[in-house]
Amino acid sequence: MTTPALLPLSGRRIPTLTPGVSSFPHHRATLRLSEKFILLLILSAFITLCFGAFFFLPDSSKHKRFDLGLEDVLIPHIEPGKEGKHNAGQIIIHGQGGHDEHRHKEEEESLRDKIRADHERALQEAKEKLRKSKDELKAEIQTEKTKVAEDLKKKDGPKPLPPVPMPKLVGVNDGDPGDPDTKEKRDKIREMMKHAWDSYRQYGWGHNELKPLAKKGHSTNIFGNSQMGATIVDALDTLYIMGLHDEFKDGQEWIEQNLDFSVNAEVSVFEVNIRFIGGLLAAYYLSGQEVFKVKAVQLAEKLLPAFNTPTGIPWAMVNLKSGVGRNWGWASAGSSILAEFGTLHMEFVHLTYLSGNPAYYEKVRHIRKLLAKMDRPNGLYPNYLNPRTGRWGQHHTSVGGLGDSFYEYLLKAWLMSDKTDTEARKTYDDAIEAIERHLIRKSNGGLTFIGEWKNGHLERKMGHLTCFAGGMFALGADGSPDDKAGHYLQLGAEIAHTCHESYDRTVLKLGPEAFKFDSGLEAVAVRQNEKYYILRPEVIETYWYMWRFTHDPKYRQWGWEATQAIDKYCRVSGGFSGVKDVYSSNPTYDDVQQSFFLAETLKYLYLLFSGDDLLPLENWVFNTEAHPLPVLHMANITLPGSQNQG
Ligand code: DMJ
């Protein structure tokens, strides 16, 4: 064996090594980490050899046992050259007899050969290590260090998420409207939020929603049979924005201690995304509390199996425990719903941004690419798409239920990308152009409305849900093609006016679920089952956007009318309830305090009576559940996975 030459390592030299005579002890104090590493490697090779020798040397007890002759029929016979490959197929039954001694000698000899060979190999490896260049050794050491660090991280539970720059936080004094009258109105809205929250805290804590009359918890099929505190998660950012910090902390504590997603519950992917993931992300961005980010990512992982369909268009529902997905029984031909699979983009981009996991971004990119390739009847997107075949279901198009937030998220994807996602903007512009052509009309009484397209026929009916579009048109005005900004702002104002009329033409001054523009009836509900108001936000949402873009005082006035009506007709001692008939002076309650009442309705009202410095639209984009997410300055950010996308 040769003595290794002196090798330069990190500007130092390691001492000459004579095999068998280690110089290690004399230099231990002065050696560097990398040098120690190599020496340690050699030492461990020798220790391995000694260990090997200890184990491979023949054991006299075995001889005795062989002599008993019992194991002779059970001990596997190892054919030369096949050491270590013990398997049932190689067990050979031997007879007893005088071959034993001879066989043991042979075995001893073969073991010694093996030890010698191992010894040679270990020394050879050690020599090769020492012959390597400084850079090669450094690289090896670094790889080993990284591996050890990663193993440690894995052992310590969930992987820490990468740090991200936080946007400007919202302070309690931010958004002070200045004049005392507006401030008083804002305080009233804050008080309503407190009543809604305190009631839920007292009677429904931990349940998804509240029954304010029965004074107990409530849940619907969108959350399966889970008890995931939907109201807590949905309300958090509103509490934060309103400066209700004790309530916020209370909610945070519940989330830290109780919010668990390993539940055997079949939930709506869309609802969980907009309410839970959106709510958690917004709470994280506003408060900076890591727990919200971690929970959002944990939950998102549970939604990923929903995308395991032949097309990648997700199922409407997924079981959080088993990952099994399926679609709503009522949806046309087993289809997924446009407004559901098309309302994931904002949250999923943020999830990739925050977690470094490209999967989320890839899922929503895939959906967008698939939709871009499809034919659109009359340029319109049908509400139904089959996730197995990739074909449209019934040709129904709506800017209300089943379609609404798909269009909203195209526009908001563009805004949220700091206007760099021009593909999203173009898709939005094309879709809106087709909607204007086929769905938007003026009634005889001069009210602009958005109807529903059903198999080539326009139904002259507009939903409460559709009223959000007034705000969307205003938000998308700037940046619209052919300098049509004025046109879209005007369209937003017209929709706001129509929706206000739908409120004003009722007894309670609250809007019905759907209203017609037919046979002399305008902006009123005809069917009994369309006369309810379930604390929905869309009309107030549009007032708020219109206020931000025009500062026309009528929007605050309309918002105040709605606030008073809600307080008068929906408030009960146990919270706020929806009402079944807005045309009746003596309405019955539906006994549900929806989580979106705290997430959206009260938040938009509060913002309507706040200054524009509270969550400026240049910096924040609201998801469809009114959870504010910061604009990502994509010119300076590369999303993991985005390089692989076309
Ligand atoms: C909310 O959950 C969201 O706004 C969603 O986009 C549709 N509607 C409800 C409230 O009406």
Question: Is the dihedral angle over the CA atoms 616, 622, 628, 633 positive or is it negative?
Answer: negative
pLDDT for the residue 118: 73
Pairing state of beta strands 384-385 and 575-576?
unpaired
Catalytic annotation, pick one of 209, 513, 522, 581: 513
pLDDT tens, residue by residue, 277-328: 999 999 999 999 999 999 999 999 999 999 999 999 999 999 999 999 999 9
CA distances for 128 relative to 47, 49, 114, angstroms: 18, 18, 21
CB–CB of 356/640 below 8 Å?
A: yes
Number of Cβ atoms within 10 Å of the Cβ of 279? 31
How much is the mean pLDDT over the chain?
A: 84
Q: What's the first-to-final CA gap in the chain, in angstroms?
A: 58
CB–CB of 608/556 below 8 Å?
A: yes
pLDDT tens, residue by residue, 205-240: 999 999 999 999 999 999 999 899 999 999 999 999
Question: What would the mean pLDDT of 13-41 be, rounded to a whole number?
Answer: 40
Of the candidates 270, 282, 422, 278, the residue with the CA atom closest to the CA atom of residue 331: 270
pLDDT for the residue 69: 29
What is the distance in A from the centroid of ligand 1 to the CA of 625?
6
| Pocket perturbation via mutation, ligand 1, pick of 222, 539, 600, 627 by most ligand atoms within 8 A of CB | 600
Model confidence at 3, in pLDDT bands (50, 70, 90)?
A: very low
Dig out the tokens for 223 from the structure: 């959350």
pLDDT for the residue 115: 72
Pairing state of beta strands 12-13 and 575-576?
unpaired
Model confidence at 381, in pLDDT bands (50, 70, 90)?
A: very high
Closest ligand 1 atom number to CA of residue 594? 10
What is the distance in A from the centroid of ligand 1 to the CA of 181?
30
Of the candidates 231, 203, 229, 230, the residue with the CA atom closest to the CA atom of residue 217: 203
Q: Indicate the range of 6-15, 214-223, 401-410, 494-503 predicted with least confidence.
A: 6-15
| 530 or 22, which is more confident | 530
pLDDT for the residue 507: 98
pLDDT for the residue 45: 57
CB–CB of 211/204 below 8 Å?
A: yes
Question: Which residue's CA is the closest to the ligand 1 atom numbered 1?
Answer: 625
What is the distance in A from the centroid of ligand 1 to the CA of 22?
74
CB–CB of 572/558 below 8 Å?
A: no
CB–CB of 358/638 below 8 Å?
A: no
Q: Is 624 annotated as a binding residue?
A: yes
Catalytic annotation, pick one of 271, 421, 522, 600: 271
Is a pLDDT exceeding 50 seen at residue 385? Answer: yes
pLDDT tens, residue by residue, 432-480: 999 999 999 999 999 999 999 998 899 999 999 999 999 999 999 999 9
590 catalytic per annotation: no
CA distance 325 to 268: 10
Is a pLDDT exceeding 90 seen at residue 42? Answer: no
- Residues of the chain with pLDDT > 90: what percent? 69
Q: Indicate the range of 173-187, 261-275, 540-554 predicted with least confidence.
A: 173-187
pLDDT for the residue 110: 73
Q: Indicate the range of 87-101, 181-195, 479-493, 585-599 predicted with least confidence.
A: 87-101
Pairing state of beta strands 336-337 and 440-442?
unpaired
pLDDT tens, residue by residue, 471-519: 999 999 999 999 899 999 999 999 999 999 999 999 999 999 999 999 8
Q: Which amino acid is at 164?
A: V
What are all long-range contacts of 97-106, with beta carbons under 8 Å and residues at least 24 apart?
100/66, 100/67, 104/58, 104/63, 104/66
Closest ligand 1 atom number to CA of residue 271? 2
- Whole-model pTM: value is 0.76
Counting Cα atoms < 13 Å in the Cβ hemisphere of 333 gives 14
408 catalytic per annotation: no
Of the candidates 355, 349, 342, the residue with the CA atom closest to the CA atom of residue 301: 355
pLDDT for the residue 61: 36
pLDDT for the residue 93: 27
Is a pLDDT exceeding 80 seen at residue 520? Answer: yes
CB–CB of 488/476 below 8 Å?
A: yes
Is a pLDDT exceeding 50 seen at residue 27? Answer: no
Number of Cβ atoms within 10 Å of the Cβ of 62? 13
CA distance 351 to 339: 20
pLDDT for the residue 58: 39
pLDDT for the residue 130: 65
CA distance 363 to 356: 14
Q: What lines the ligand 1 site, CB under 6 Å? A: 405, 465, 536-537, 596, 600, 624-625
Is a pLDDT exceeding 70 seen at residue 557? Answer: yes
Question: What would the mean pLDDT of 142-163 be, rounded to a whole number?
Answer: 60
